[in-house]
Amino acid sequence: MGPHQTYASPSERGALRRLLAGARALVDSVAAHSPARFALIVFLLAICIFTALLSLPAAATSGRSTPLHDALFTAVSAVCVTGLTVVSTATHWTFFGQVVIIVGVFVGGLGILTLASVLSLAVSKRLGVRGKLMAQQSMNTVGTSKLGEVGTLLRTVITTSVAIELLLTLMLTPRFMILGEPFGQALWHGVFYAISAFNNGGFTPHSDGLVPYETDLWVLVPLMLGVVLGSLGFPVVMVLIIYRNKVRQWTLHTKLTLVVSAILLVGGTLAWAALEWNNPRTIAEMNLGDKVINAIFASVMTRSGGFNLVEQGDMESTTMLLTDALMFAGGGSASTAGGIKVTTIAVMFLAIFAEARGDSDVRAFGRRIPEGTMRVAISVLVLGATLVGLGTGSLLAISGATLDRVLFESISAFATVGLSTGLSGELPPSGKYVLSALMFAGRVGTITLAAALALRQRDQLYHYPEERPIIG
């Protein structure tokens, strides 16, 4: 032992054990009484940590502390896997700052309930019944009800995420090297894009974004692949891995997610191409192949990826409206995508179709959808529209910008997409706080509400007389 090395005294070790025991008791208590509240606390704590790290002088190339509103905005955007920026990721942040951002994207991409479950497991060394229910709610990948499998499932989710991101890195790094980047820089850009794509983060380490690669399929295809896999969600990815071609064993959630995602992808591609085909500010001067690539890329990224090949402000007004709708729709539940989720849309349309046919049950793929699921879908839809409306109104009052730009930015923030017309960087601090709140609410609000409603069931001992009001 060196002259300055000391061991903890028995009293210090006892205090440490008591502190750890208290932390475990706190985690168990909060998780047991309210998993949703515990998840929110964990997410807010993560945002605070990343804000503090980005506020350090070492995180900025200027060597000075980044203003709180910019550091907070970036931290929220990273942890909420959005990708909206108010400062250049490539030029404002140092390598340390970029590492903080991409780690925030990875942590946020795991999902709020998954993150809360991992922290509970790390602190208390075990998952209680409520903790397992919380984890199962966020990652019920194969429809299993065996709570004993949840711990293994947590590890599987993290392992799968890392494996997919590693594969994307191996696909991207050689291309960056061929384009002239040194190995270290190419590897870093490959890792950054891989994590950002799979987690639907939308951050880019290049100062000019993806513009230099707008026709490079070696770069664009891995990015689209990562975004699509991330937007499907762990429940769907795990079902596809486990059951592969055994379609009959796929869960209803998997089938609905795949079908609606495919419809939105194809429909979005055709609609975007038709609206922008002759727009001289975007793709009018391109050849046929490049136009098709841009249309497919835009359709994939609009629903949560956040990467873009054309300036969003140069698009036609009708294309911006189409983009608003696709962003609001989002991706799959329990995924890294945002929006109200494709299963919400599926349930709503199935309910409308059943009502039009006069069916008493809402059915899909030989299964009946419970009424409780439809109530949750309505709640998520209404909450999402309300949050976007409040955010849009606030930003209109703060910025004085046009409605189309403000609505676009609000939906992009709420749906954690990250596409921007440039309004985010023009806003005063109060506007950035509004967008930060929208990103946070969009990432955790609807998910937590859906989880809380799905887990909450109260028995009623009596029913009031039924009376049908006039609708429509």
Q: Rounded distance, CA 257 to CA 261, Å?
A: 6
Tokens describing residue 124? 């208390």
Query: Which residues lie closer than 8 Å to 395 by C-beta, 6 or more apart?
Result: 401, 406, 409, 410, 423, 427, 431, 434, 435
Give residue-wise pLDDT tens across range 321-368. Answer: 999 999 999 998 878 888 999 999 999 999 999 989 988 899 999 999
Confidence (pLDDT) at 205: 93
Q: Which of 215, 411, 228 is nearest to 327 (CA)?
A: 411
Instruction: Give the mean model confidence (pLDDT) for residues 183-208.
Output: 94
What sign results for the dihedral spanned by CA atoms 369, 371, 372, 377?
A: positive
Please give the helix or strand (H or E) that residue 332 lies within, else none.
Answer: none
Q: Which of 423, 373, 435, 366 is nearest to 399 (CA)?
A: 423
Tokens describing residue 462? 């009596």
Query: Which residues lie closer than 8 Å to 45 by C-beta, 6 or more apart?
Result: none
Q: Rounded distance, CA 438 to CA 141, Å?
A: 28
Tokens describing residue 72? 């907070």
pLDDT band (50, 70, 90) for residue 152 = low
- In whole angstroms, how far apart are CA 37 and each of 42, 45, 357? 9, 12, 41
Rg (C-alpha) for the chain, rounded Å, is: 23
Tokens describing residue 273? 């191409």
165, 158 contact by CB (below 8 A) = no
**Phi/psi of residue 369, nearest 5 degrees:** -90, 125
Confidence (pLDDT) at 79: 93
Give residue-wise pLDDT tens across range 213-270. Answer: 988 999 999 999 999 999 998 888 888 888 888 888 899 999 999 999 999 999 999 9
Q: Rounded distance, CA 233 to CA 333, Å?
A: 6
Query: Which residues lie closer than 8 Å to 388 by C-beta, 6 or more apart?
Result: 328, 407, 410, 411, 414, 438
Q: Rounded distance, CA 302 to CA 346, Å?
A: 19
Give residue-wise pLDDT tens across range 68-100. Answer: 999 999 999 999 999 999 999 999 999 999 999
Q: Rounded distance, CA 164 to CA 225, Å?
A: 10
Q: Is the pLDDT of residue 175 over 90?
A: yes
47, 101 contact by CB (below 8 A) = no
* Lookup result for tokens 């203003």: 67
Q: What is the 3-state secondary structure (H, E, C) of 218-282?
A: HHHHHHHHHHHHHHHCHHHHHHHHHHCCCHHHCCHHHHHHHHHHHHHHHHHHHHHHHHHCCCCCC
Q: Rounded distance, CA 107 to CA 102, Å?
A: 9
Please give the helix or strand (H or E) that residue 363 lies within, else none.
Answer: strand 362-364
Give residue-wise pLDDT tens across range 261-281. Answer: 999 999 999 999 999 999 999
Tokens describing residue 209? 């974004």
Confidence (pLDDT) at 106: 92
What sign results for the dihedral spanned by CA atoms 289, 165, 79, 382?
A: positive
Q: Rounded distance, CA 284 to CA 279, Å?
A: 5
Confidence (pLDDT) at 463: 76
Confidence (pLDDT) at 28: 54
Give residue-wise pLDDT tens across range 435-470. Answer: 999 999 898 866 565 555 555 555 667 778 877 787
pLDDT band (50, 70, 90) for residue 289 = very high
Confidence (pLDDT) at 132: 54
343, 364 contact by CB (below 8 A) = no
What's the distance, CA 56 to chain centroid? 26
* Lookup result for tokens 């475990």: 24
328, 384 contact by CB (below 8 A) = yes
Task: List Cβ<8 Å contacts ≥24 apart for 212-215.
Answer: 214/290, 214/293, 214/294, 214/309, 215/290, 215/293
Give residue-wise pLDDT tens across range 31-66. Answer: 555 556 666 777 888 899 999 999 999 999 999 999
Domain boundaries, the chain: 16-454
Confidence (pLDDT) at 208: 87
Q: Is the pLDDT of residue 386 over 70?
A: yes
Tokens describing residue 441? 């609410």
| Cα torsion through 196, 197, 199, 200, rounded to 10 | 100
